[in-house]
Amino acid sequence: MKQHAIGIDIGGTNTKIAIVNSSGKVEAFNAFSTKGPSNFELFSDKVFEVSKNLLAELNLGIKDVKGVGVGAPNGNYISGKIVNPPNLKQWGTVDLTGPFKERFGTEVYLDNDANVAALGEGKWGKGKDKKDFVVVTLGTGIGTGVIVNNQLVRGGNGLAGEGGHISIDFQGRRCGCGGLGHLEMYGSVQGIKTTVLEHLGKELSFKEISEGYKAQDNEMVEVITITADYLGRGLSTMAALLSPQAFILAGGVSTLGQSFTVLVKESLDKYVFPTFKGDIAVELSEISQGEGAVLGAAALVL
């Protein structure tokens, strides 16, 4: 029985590829710049080349893998297409599973990056002992992967789970999608940097903000407390609809640590429907930041 899968995470900046075994261990890994290849066809060539080389490191071939799992922004499980990815606009909408199946000669599965994070969390992370939870990926934007009764919710068109586009202020910041006050304009890395600029008149990197917060700099603590309040508003809306056992935070912003989850939990309990107050946990993903996305992609297969 085949015990390995190829897990691929297509990001706006980098693409990560791993050979993952059935126990959730990454046995070989590599990454390259997504924007290095000038078009999607050349990108596909690069993915295949890197994947073959990783398998060769383990004395394996394509014939030895169960399949290929791919997580990508706006990846659609139903159509097999990446639909106008916001940070890869030069691609437009591309069919991924068709060309990849031709190249790899095995089954290929595509899904939204937040969805694969939820699958990985359910198989190997904090979701293992839960049947209802939401993974919230806090990075350049915000994504949500929703698990209900042990099933991933994809919706009628395969694009469910866009929790970053819940509005928390209808007169608020303009989102890249055109909407107003969307959660990802406040709780993402870019949203936090905007809050620093608005409240303190400073342009700081997320690394500077994070280091200041962890050092208990008063200004950075204030900014992160405001951010947690924004997130609690958005999560309270999701909670009213889904009643999850937990929200599991992943992505770059989650590296703010346990004290940040305490702030988010306090905000959630402040805004949530009273019946749910105190019942919904806010937890940090324990899957490595570097491996989380490729593990989730591999979970589409294993």
The per-residue pLDDT for range 174-209, each reduced to its tens digit, is: 998 899 999 999 999 999 999 999 999 999 999 999
pLDDT band at 2 (very low <50, low <70, confident <90, very high): confident
Which residues sit opposite 246 in a β-bridge?
133, 281
Task: Give CA–CA dist 252/209, Å, rounded.
Answer: 12
To the nearest 10°, report the CA torsion of 22, 25, 30, 34. 70
Query: Nearest-CA neighbor of 94 among 142, 33, 12, 39?
Result: 39
pLDDT band at 248 (very low <50, low <70, confident <90, very high): very high
Least confident of 45-59, 61-75, 85-99, 249-263: 85-99
pLDDT of residue 132 exceeding 80, the answer is yes
Query: Nearest-CA neighbor of 296 among 127, 87, 102, 131?
Result: 127
For residue 88, the model assigns a pLDDT of 85
pLDDT of residue 87 exceeding 90, the answer is no
Tokens for 106, please give them.
């095995």
For residue 85, the model assigns a pLDDT of 84
**CA 79 → CA 83, 84, 223, distances in Å?**
9, 13, 40
Ordered domains of the chain (ranges, CATH): 4-113 (3.30.420.40), 126-284 (3.30.420.40)
For residue 194, the model assigns a pLDDT of 98
Give the mean model confidence (pLDDT) for residues 159-187.
Answer: 95
CB atoms < 10 A from the CB of 29, how many? Answer: 16
Dump the DSSP string for 193-259: HHHHHHHH-----HHHHHHHHHTT-HHHHHHHHHHHHHHHHHHHHHHHHH--SEEEEESGGGGG-HH
**CA 81 → CA 84, 87, 102, 105, 279, distances in Å?**
9, 16, 15, 18, 38
Task: Give CA–CA dist 51/274, Å, rounded.
Answer: 50
Task: Give CA–CA dist 112/85, Å, rounded.
Answer: 10
For residue 250, the model assigns a pLDDT of 94
83-86: list long-range contacts, CB under 8 Å, 24+ apart. 83/159, 85/10, 85/12, 86/12, 86/141, 86/176, 86/177
For residue 12, the model assigns a pLDDT of 81
Task: Give CA–CA dist 295/44, Å, rounded.
Answer: 20
pLDDT of residue 290 exceeding 80, the answer is no
Tokens for 148, please give them.
């209900």
pLDDT of residue 20 exceeding 80, the answer is yes
Which residues sit opposite 9 in a β-bridge?
16, 71
pLDDT band at 59 (very low <50, low <70, confident <90, very high): very high
Q: Are 138 and 253 in contact (CB under 8 A)?
A: yes
Instruction: Write down the mean pLDDT value for the chain.
Output: 95
